Amino acid sequence: MTTRSPVAPELSAIEVRGTTRGAFLMRGALAVGAAYGAGTVGPFVTQALAQAGQGNPRGAGDIEILNFALTLEWLEAFYYQRALKAVNMSSETKALAQEIETNEFEHAKFLNGAIKSLGGKPVPQPEVSFPFAGESKFLQLAQTFEDTGVMAYNGAAPLIEAKDVLANAGRIVQVEGRHAAGIRMLRGQNPAEAAFDGVLEFQEVVRRVKPFLDTLPFSFRQEELPRGAQQGDSSYF
Amino acid sequence: MSQSEVQDERPPGPSAMERLMDDPSSRKRFLTKLGGTFGAGAVAAFAAACGAADKTFPNQRSPEANKNPQFGGGTKFGEGDTGIVNFALYLEYFESDFYDLINNSGLLSGKFYSISRQIEEKEREHLEALRDTAKQMGTQPIKKPKTKFPVESQPQILKLAVTIENTGPAAYLGQAPRIQEAEILASALAIHTVEARQAAALNMLHRKKITPDGAFARPRDMATVLKGVAPYIVG
């Protein structure tokens, strides 16, 4: 199901795909199945269908969405943490990387706590690896992560049930947008590419971050992936 | 999708997070736990986030909320989602006027001028989209306010731009959890992060932190936003 963003033609480029929770979760399940082999789909599909039905505990789907966000936050936090050690940066870049690193760890820790408070089980920290080279490559990949983060949150937010969870996701995505602009400015790019930020579906987010995840740390699949399959695909930069 | 379908997916009863927000003792326990694990910085940030949530959305689930001027009820913007769209339109008019004025002042140059022109274009797109949305929702779009801004020098203008541009994302963030229709919410979020990007870019030019609120941006309610822009509105 595809719902077009309202009426105004200027907004019609923004698609809210899968505005039902079931659609969102199903797509996520199928995406992960496609990326990692059909064997991984089963349990998640069952869970998704159960959540889409009536009479389930309120917030069950919110936990899935927050766990999805948590993985992205860990990925970003570790990226800046490691880059600050591995990459020779100008003082301006270093200051920004430190500011962002602090924020990303706070996001991850907040989400971890929020998932527990909703009665969920936070996904474990992912095993990650990054292809570090110089400052310019660092900023390039940082921009990919930040822009992806913005679109991932904006895509998932309308599916969130609890208003307080939505409010906190909003507080986080604004900060991701600010990070994206800071990185873009250091690269001499426009802070915003268009007047409206797009959304990404679960499937596309997985495709973008997969090359940097050595393990797939979602709650429905925790076994190790073959390392060889995960090494630096930079074809989409 | 209609509103009723969205509502049908939401079983009654407060979520764990809502219970946490509503219950001071459990929130205190939660914060203590966070403190033990994550350190004072994270607690302060989370407490600020919680405090803001309590202050900004205390009545969001009650019908009375829409009658409260703090939440836009009974104001010139109207109630519900149309009121929020009109409020956003009002702010975009305000911002567009500002950038139109400063970009034609002959006082700007360099990186700031280039960014400022980019922002003006985007504000205009926001404005047009929101005006069309208001019309399509069957409401009269709010009238363009008359504005007056002090324009003296590039440093003075940049400082004012930082203040004005950081108001935008805070205003959208304050409204987002009040929006009923998923499509309107998605559109507001699509604008919200662009406003955030613009604010961060100007902060950077002003040698200010790109995330002045830290890891969790603070929302501003309608009344606070209107108070902030009032000095520059003359009619």
The ipTM assigned to this model is 0.75
Distance of CA B234 to the CA centre of its chain: 22
pLDDT of residue A60: 55
What pLDDT is recorded for position A105?
A: 98
Q: How far is CA B194 from CA A128, A194, A221, in A?
A: 29, 8, 34
Chain A contact for B175 (CB, 8 A cutoff): no
Give residue A192's pLDDT.
96
Question: Would you state the structure tokens that stand for residue A121, as one six-digit string?
Answer: 């089980």
Q: How many CB atoms lie within 10 A of CB B67?
A: 13
Distances from the Cα of B13 to the Cαs of A146, B58, B167, in angstroms? 35, 16, 34
Q: Got the DSSP string for A59-85?
A: THHHHHHHHHHHHHHHHHHHHHHHHHH
Question: Are A195 and B194 within 8 A, CB to CB?
Answer: yes
Residue among B193, B231, B217 at smallest CA distance from B98: B231
Instruction: Give the residue among B180, B167, B101, B91 at the shortest CA–CA distance from B130.
Output: B91
- Contact call for B57 and A163, based on CB within 8 A: yes
Q: Nearest Cα to B125, choosing from B102, B149, B95, B151? A: B95
Q: Give me the DSSP letters along B43-111.
A: HHHHHHHHHHHHHHSTTTTSGGGGGSGGGTTTSTT-SHHHHHHHHHHHHHHHHHHHHHHHHTSS---HH
Identity of the residue in A3, A114, A197 whose CB atom sits nearest the CB atom of B17: A114
Question: Measured between alpha carbons, how far is B179 from A20 in angstroms, rounded to an integer?
Answer: 17
Question: Over 90: is that where the pLDDT of B145 sits?
Answer: yes
CB of B44 less than 8 A from some CB of A: no
3-class state of residue A17 by DSSP: strand
Tell me the mean pLDDT in the region B148-156: 98
Is residue B164 a contact partner of residue B95, using CB atoms and an 8 Å limit? yes
Question: What percent of the residues of chain A are helix, what percent strand, and what percent coil, each to the nearest 5?
Answer: 65, 5, 30
Gap between the Cα atoms of B112 and B223, Å rounded: 30
Q: What is the pLDDT of residue B186?
A: 87
| Structure tokens that stand for A101 in this block | 């690193």
Half-sphere exposure of B60 (CA within 13 A, CB side): 24
pLDDT at B40 over 60: no
> Which of 99-158 (B) contact A at CB < 8 A?
115, 118, 121-122, 125-126, 128-130, 132-133, 136-137
Range with the lowest mean pLDDT among A151-165, A213-227, B83-97, B191-205?
A213-227
- Mean pLDDT over B79-83 rounds to 93
Q: Alpha-carbon distance B88 to B179, whole Å?
A: 12
Mean pLDDT for all residues in chain B: 77
- Residues A167 and B155: their CA atoms lie apart, in Å, by 34
Query: What average pLDDT does the structure give for chain A?
Result: 74
Please report residues of B whose CB lies closer than 8 A to that of A154. Answer: 186, 189-190, 193
B-chain residue closest to A9, CA distance: B129
Question: Do residues A214 and A126 lie in contact, with contact meaning Cβ atoms separated by under 8 Å?
Answer: yes
Contact A72, A205 (CB under 8 A): yes
The arithmetic mean of pLDDT across residues B56-83, rounded, is 58
Contacts of B193 in chain A (CB under 8 A): 150, 154, 173-174, 176-177, 197
Question: What does the pLDDT read at residue A2?
Answer: 41
Q: And the tokens for B84?
A: 């929020």
Q: What is the pLDDT of residues A124-179, one digit of tens each?
A: 998 999 999 999 999 999 999 999 999 999 988 888 888 899 999 999 999 999 99
Q: Quick one: pLDDT at residue B75?
A: 72
Tell me if residue A126 falls in helix, strand or coil.
coil
Q: Can you give the pLDDT at residue A161? A: 85
- Looking at the partner chain, which of B18, B53, B198 has a beta carbon nearest the beta carbon of A191? B198
Q: Inspect the interface and report whether the beta carbons of A113 and B189 lie closer than 8 Å.
A: no
Look up residue A231 and give its amino acid: Q
H or E segment at A209?
Answer: helix A202-209
Q: How far apart are CA B52 and CA A45, in angstroms?
A: 37
CB A115 within 8 A of CB A218: no
Rounded to the nearest angstrom, the gap between the alpha carbon of residue B106 and the centroid of all alpha carbons in its chain is 30
More confident of the two residues A168 and B11 = A168
Q: Give pLDDT, residue A59.
A: 52
Q: How far is A232 from chain B (nearest CA, A)?
A: 28
Residue identified by tokens 């609890």 is A162
Nearest CA in chain B to A176: B193
Cβ–Cβ < 8 Å for A39, B224: no
Chain A residue with minimum CA distance to B169: A174
Residue B26 has pLDDT above 60, yes or no: no
- Reading the block at residue A174, the tokens are 């604004």
Residue B126 reports pLDDT greater than 70 = yes
Name which of A17, A163, A172, A190 to mutate to probe chain B: the one with the most chain B Cβ atoms within 10 A of its Cβ. A163
From the number of C-beta atoms within 10 Å of its C-beta (0-12, 13-18, 19+), residue A231 rates as: exposed
pLDDT at B175 over 90: yes
Query: How does residue B206 score in pLDDT terms, banded at 50, 70 and 90?
Result: very high
B235 vs B92: which has the higher pLDDT: B92
Q: Nearest residue of A to residue B117 by CA position?
A: A190
Distances in whole angstroms, Cα of residue B230 to Cα of each of A48, A64, B94, B146, B224: 48, 42, 10, 11, 10
Contact B218 A171 (CB under 8 A): yes
> Quick check: B154 and B202 in contact, CB under 8 A?
no
Residue B147 DSSP SS3: strand
Residues of A within 8 A of B46 (CB-CB) are 110, 113
Q: Name the phi and psi angles at A215, rounded to 5.
A: -125, 155
Cβ pair B197, A177 in contact under 8 A: yes
- What is the pTM assigned to this prediction? 0.74
Each residue's pLDDT expressed in tens, for chain A with a length of 237 residues: 344 333 333 443 343 444 444 444 444 544 444 444 433 333 334 344 444 443 334 455 788 889 889 999 999 999 999 999 999 999 999 999 999 999 999 999 999 999 999 988 898 998 999 999 999 999 999 999 999 999 999 988 888 888 899 999 999 999 999 999 999 999 999 999 999 998 887 777 888 888 898 877 553 243 222 222 222 322 222
